[in-house]
Structures are given as structure tokens and as C-alpha cells.
Amino acid sequence: MRRFLVGMVCAAALGGVAIAAPAAPWLNTKLSPDRRADLLLGRMSLAEQIALLHGHFPVLMKSRPPGIPMSAGYIPAQPKYGIPAIRESDASLGVANAGRGDTDDAAPLPSGLALAATFDPKLAFASGAMIGREARQKGFNVLLAGGANLARDPRNGRNFEYLGEDPLLGGTLDGAAIRGIQSNHMVSTAKHYALNDQETGRGTLSADIGEAAMRESDLLEFEIAIAAGRPGSVMCAYNRINGTYACENPALLNGALKHDWGFPGWVMSDWGAVHSLDAAAAGLDQESGQEADRQVYFDAPLTAAVASGKFPKARVHDMAHRVLRSLFAEGVIDHPLAPGALDTRMDSATAGKVAEQAIVLLKNSPGLLPLAAGARKIVVIGGHADVGVISGGGSSQVIPLGSTKLRSPKGAPSWGGGIIYHPDPPLAAIRRRAGGEVAYADGSDPAAAAALAKGADVVVVFASQWATEAMDIRLGLDDQQDALISAVAAANPHTVVVLETGGPVVMPWLGQVGGVLEAWYPGARGGEAIAKVLFGEVDPSGRLPQTFPTGEDQLPRPQLPGLKSAAPEGPTIGQGEPLQVHYDEGSDVGYRWYAAKGLKPLFPFGYGLSYTAFRYGGLKAVGGQGLSVSFTVTNSGARAGIEMPQLYLASEPHRSQQRLVAFTRVALKPGQTRRVTLNAEPRLLADWDVAGHRWKRAAGRYELFVGRSAADPALKGAAVLTAASLAP
């Protein structure tokens, strides 16, 4: 009864017509979200239902009525039913700004790829919860977060927003982040469904791939994320799949998502991704950002199609039902927004925690790191380390107070907003810790930087790479930074390179330097996090969520399809149209490709050093109906540290594809041993059976290994499993 009353009070607080409970039975919180949606839809006219199915893009609205915030999306309220306005914001890495002015700040998280490097679902939940809280305070109730595209090509300019190349790692963390967001009574959106794996030509590109390969790779990441996160909404992508646009693709929307996975929420389009009313029949429920489409399909044309009998009224009911049931299920209707002040400083602590755990130590010559507090002279060079830490551009861009816009690259997309540095300079954080002198050179003159480096105990060179939505990138730093690092390392071999990159880069200078840290885009407290790891206050516990290749010649497609220039300086979304990309590698994405081809990358997936050492032993693999593997991990070094044991399948009875099937994090004190048990994800022990339309596992012997990376089998074993058949 109490919850029922809360529902009534909430509806009244919306400022609409006061609704009495008997007249508004859908406000009864004891009923299921589906029942509530049906009760409400029973009162709504067709026009009122259709009003829920298309939304504005305030950024492109010619005249924006007062009360509509500058943001990604807006759908007007229907106060007489207690339906609030749907207020949408991008929020993959924090609440995005969308041109609301630099004083509308929010706490920026490190990149999604950084989050993936933590291998930590709890942190992913905490990040989502922080974003959701800030979004509520800013007056948003539907977040366009939850990017889950597989890093099929390391040059995809949006990989930094996503969670790496493995479906289990990415899907698990995405699901946890979505749950975190939705713990604030709001809807989160898994996006961009599916195979939007490069930006170049994204509006027309056809990703051509077989059904089994797609199910076992890109779709599997979504399947895992959606099962774990239960997002209220899924956003379909810009591109085509096997010739059909993702937003009008019945196999993906009506088939895999709604039928096979039982997704009860609504499918919204990406902005400008609707091409016809066919999309509604294929499973699209809502046309987002209608100002970005050639015409508004889900308003007058939809109404006319229903009137002429060409489009079933029942499907309109289903579309509106899906929107309303998610709003009820996540508490958007029962818990109206009450915007309030943000504490971005406090929220930045979450960002700092992610950054600390995400940093990957790639190389460390004996005795170089951690830095000794007593070092006489440290020289810091480059990367605008005196200003802050770089962030990625595009719709996910978050603006923190005091951020600095350094320069806009020629032709950069206007929504990229230039290159933004978050105001937590590593130089200041290093100075706060160093006992001796810390000198700085901006690196614009490599000879001067090398001269300064010469007499130092240690040199820290910062190098950065900017990536943004709408543009793909090359697999490296710009030439000037490579030359700078080489010149400095030639002058002083005690050189540590700190990378702030969107993803993997090649390192022509690797043999010359003493240490390398990958710090990704480290967010609000990035400078502090880098300094904490450099000085050993925090053990480097990040592991690579993406393989670092030696060069583009190792990739399935050495040339990025459609890309006109090897080093693009502006948007590439319109290039190469109409484009067909053949994903002939199938589900051999990332480390699976390297294993299948016998290639040795620069650094493998899952790799990362610690300041301590770990030893593995006592493997026990139990098969049968599932796979459970236990083993011991010992911290054999002298410092506390965190290890990330990874369980890989090496081969099944009739196939030898490598797959990550389970992972965990273990914190160990020096000398401490812990027995760890990992249970394999059942879908990863199986193959997609096209004819049977299900996951199928053959009976027989499964080879496996527990490792410190995809290329470092510490313990090998095998187990005999029974045959199994799993519904999708």
C-alpha cells in the first residue's frame, strides 16, 4: 500500500494534472511493468502513443522551446498520464555536455577502454552509478551510455568509448556499468547494435559476416551485456549488416535481440540512422534525434500507414508498450527527476580509482620503476603534462570545470569540440611527490628536450594520441612524438614513456626506452593516478583489453576499408561510400586472430606487469556439464599487488579457437597464496549452430590454460565435457 501511495504522490509531483489512483491504475507500483504499460496504453489515443515513438535532437532544433535542455534527445511529457519528458544525454564516460557551455561541468571518467583494462565489474558498476547520479542531478532520465562495440579494428576512432576486443570482458563490464546507471531510477542504453566497428563510411558501410561468426563475436558481447545489465533500451547502429541497415534489420532486431534474447525494452535509432518506415516493421521502436533524419518517419508517415491499414496498429501498441514498460521497470515514472547541485569533486574520486586500476605497465627495466622518492632530478617532457590529461572527442565528450581546449585539428568535426585536456596535470602530481628537482620541457624542440634529459636520474616522456567519433585513426603516435621519444631515450636510457592514447599504438622506440606505461585517457584524476603508479603508491594492475600489434600488416585488413589517408585530419564518416567490409576473420577477433595465424603481437591481450611477481600452481580442471578450473596464485615478490588470472579455452573437440572463458582479480600481500576457482561462461564453451539456431557444445576433450595473458599460458590442462545445447 505504501509503495502504491508513493506512486500517486510521485505522479502529482510531476506538475501535471493531479491523478487519483482509481483513475490511474498504472500508478500502482505493485503491478508488473508490463501490466502498468498495458493499463496506461488502454487510455492513450493512437496519436498519444505515436508521440512516444519519435524524439527531438535539441542541438539541431531550429527554435528550442524553453524547458528543453541542450542535449542529445528530448520527447515531450504527457502530464495527463503522469508520463514525464524523456530527457536524454550521452553518458558513456560521464554526463556529456552537448554544447551547454563550459560551466556545465561533470566528472569525466577514464575512457571505456581504460575501464576494460581494470577487468573489474565492481568498478564498472561504481562508474555507472556515479554517471547515473550526476545525470539525475542534471535533469536527465535516459542515458545513451553502454557502448559495447567489439574492437574489431584497432584503428576505429571510437574504440576508446568501448570495452575492448573480447565479448566476455566487454559484455560483463558493460552489463555492470548499465546496472550501475539504472540503479538511479533511469534507463541506460546499450549501443551501437551492431558491428559499427569503424567510423569511416559508417553511414552506409555494410559489415559482411556469416551468422555463426557474428553470433560468436560482436553479438555475443551484446548478448552478455544485455543479460547482465538489463538495459531499458538498445540503440541500433548507423551501418548495414550483410546489406541491410542495422536499424531496419529484422534478423538483428526482431530476431536475435527481441525473440532470441527476450529483450523486453525499446530499440531506439542512432541519430540520423533511420531511412524508412520499414525500420518499424523490422523492430525499431523509436526514431531518435528526428532532426538528423532525412524526414521524420515515425510521426505523420506512421500515422498515415496505420490509417491506410498498411501498418498494424498492434505494432504501434507494442512499440509504445516497450517504451513505457522500461520507464516503469527502471522507476523513471515513479521517481521524478529532482535536479540538484553536483559534487563533481567527490565524484571524480570514482574516476580516479578507475584510472589507478586501469594503467598498464608494459615495460620496466630492472630498478627503473617505481620511481625512488629520493631521485635527485626528474625531467618531465611533452604531452602537455603541465596542463592536464587528454580526452577523446565526439558525442561522449565530458567537460569538467577548468578544462583546456588546446587546439582543433584541421577539419575536426564540430561536435568533437577540439582537443580537451582534463585539468589534472601529471607534472604537478609528480612534483608533489618528488624529493628533488623536477624540470619540464614541452617537447616541441626534441634536441633541447634531449639536452635537458641528459643529466637526469630519470626522464618521463608523455605522449598522447587524440581520437574522436567520426574519424578513424592510425596505429601510432604522430611522427614528431616518436622522434622526440627516440631523441630523449638516446640521451638518457632511464626514460619512461607514459602513453595517453585511445588504444594500441606501435612503438618504434620500444627497444630504446626503459619503461612504458599505458594510461589511456585517464579522466578527472588522471595526473594523480599516473603519479601514484609511477611512484609505486599503487601497484599497476591494469591488463590490456586489446592486443597491441607490431604494425598494420598484422591486422586482418592492413588497409582500413574506405580510409583515404593513412593519417586522417578530419571526419572520415563520409569516406569510401558505399562501402562493403568483409569480416573474413569471422569471430577470430583480436587475440583469437593472432593465435589462429601464429602471429606474435607487440603486447598480447591480457598483458600487464606488476611491481611484484606472481606464481601459479595446482591446476585442477573439472568438466562434465560445465567447466570449473581451480588453481593457486602466489605473490612471490616483496610488494603487495593485484593479479588478473585469465582462463582460456585453447581448443574444443572439433575446433581450435582460443577464447577467454573466465577472469577475476586477486589482491595478494607479499608471500600470500590464494586458491582461485573460475567457472567458464557456457556460451563460450559452445559454438553457434546455424541450422539448430542455438549454442551447441560437442562432447569431448577441451584443452585450456590459465594465464597472465592470451599468450602466456602459466598452467595448461584439459577436461572432458558432455554435449550440450543452449537456447540463445
Catalog residues that contact ligand BGC under the rule CB under 6 A: 72, 90, 144, 191-192, 270-271, 395
Nearest to 570 by CA among 475, 479, 473: 473
Q: Give 57 or 535: the residue with its C-beta nearer to ligand BGC.
A: 57
Q: Give 46 or 70: the residue with its C-beta nearer to ligand BGC.
A: 70
For residue 535, the minimal CB distance to ligand BGC (Å) is: 37
For residue 340, the minimal CB distance to ligand BGC (Å) is: 24
Strand locations in 501-613 (E): 515-518, 580-582
Q: Give 271 or 702: the residue with its C-beta nearer to ligand BGC.
A: 271
For residue 85, the minimal CB distance to ligand BGC (Å) is: 17
Q: Give 79 or 574: the residue with its C-beta nearer to ligand BGC.
A: 574
Q: Residue 526 in contact with residue 426, Cβ under 8 Å?
A: yes
Among 270, 472, 539, 687, the one annotated catalytic: 270
Torsion of CA 663, 667, 669, 673, to 10 degrees: -30
Q: Give 397 or 546: the residue with its C-beta nearer to ligand BGC.
A: 397
Q: Residue 244 in contact with residue 214, Cβ under 8 Å?
A: no
For residue 232, the minimal CB distance to ligand BGC (Å) is: 15
Bridge partners (DSSP) listed for residue 632: 617, 675
For residue 570, the minimal CB distance to ligand BGC (Å) is: 16
For residue 227, the minimal CB distance to ligand BGC (Å) is: 22
Grid cell in block for residue 518: 599505458
Nearest to 64 by CA among 106, 92, 105, 100: 100
* Cα separation values, 505 from 170, 482, 522, Å: 20, 11, 16
If one counts every other C-beta atom within 10 angstroms of the C-beta of residue 341, the result is 6
Q: Give 137 or 396: the residue with its C-beta nearer to ligand BGC.
A: 396
* Euclidean distance between CA atoms 46 and 296, whole angstroms: 17
Q: Give 55 or 645: the residue with its C-beta nearer to ligand BGC.
A: 55
* Euclidean distance between CA atoms 111 and 339, whole angstroms: 26
Active site residue 457: no
Amino acid at 76: P
For residue 88, the minimal CB distance to ligand BGC (Å) is: 8
Strand order in the sheet with 244-245: 244-245, 240-241, 206-208, 580-582
* Cα separation values, 201 from 121, 151, 196, 240, 421, Å: 33, 17, 10, 11, 28
Give the CA count within 13 Å in the CB-facing half-sphere of 181: 35
CA angle 286–292–298, rounded 5-degree value = 30
Burial label for 281, CB within 10 Å (0-12, 13-18, 19+), is middle
Q: Give 192 or 543: the residue with its C-beta nearer to ligand BGC.
A: 192
φ/ψ of 43, rounded to 5, equals -95, -15
Bridge partners (DSSP) listed for residue 688: 695
Helix (H) or strand (E) run with residue 172 in it: helix 167-182
Rg of the Cα atoms in the chain: 26
- Catalytic residue numbers read 270
